[in-house]
Amino acid sequence: MMTDGSEHHHDESCAHGHEAAGGLCAHDDACAGNAEACGMEGEACCGGHGHGDLFALPTTTETVTVPAVQLAGLLDLVEKLCDDPRLLTQEPDYLEAHRLLGEQAPQLVQLREEFLERMKVLLAEAQAAR
């Protein structure tokens, strides 16, 4: 849990395997998100992507498999929750998810695009009828 810009608190134990007892872990204090300084393997450092950003979420190399329709639904939700969807074009994780969806589920992507086009036509017809 972050309490201010200078302290990284852990609830139970530190990502480095040390007891933190709700306080600042010595390794976190020393590395401040720098994987080389903390000695963690690759991206496991508390600094997330290893760019020295103490506020980045931790990452691992683990992968998961989810049905394409669930990934598409999550991307839709992200778009709805984003104040300015143009900002998503600067988010590598969002772009990678879209790329993977297009590569691995092209039929779903095509069907969803056709559905959205039909909905636009219906909406336009309904507005014209008013």
Last residue of a domain, one of 11, 28, 44: 44
Tens of pLDDT, residue by residue, the chain (130 residues): 444 444 444 344 445 454 444 444 554 444 554 555 555 555 555 544 445 566 677 888 898 899 999 999 999 999 999 999 889 999 999 999 999 999 999 999 999 999 999 999 999 999 999 8
Range of the domain at 105: 68-129
Name the residue with tokens 């507005």. Answer: 127
CB atoms within 10 A of CB 75: 15
Q: How many domains does the chain have?
A: 2
Asked if residue 117 belongs to a domain, the reply is: yes
- 87, part of any domain: yes
d(C-alpha 112, C-alpha 40), whole Å: 42
40 and 72 in a single domain? The answer is no
Domain assignment of residue 38, yes or no: yes
- The conformation of residue 3, written as its DSSP 8-state character, comes to E
Residue 109 lies in a domain: yes
User: What dihedral do alpha carbons 118, 120, 123, 124 form, nearest 10°?
Assistant: -110
- Give the C-alpha separation, 18 to 5, whole Å: 22
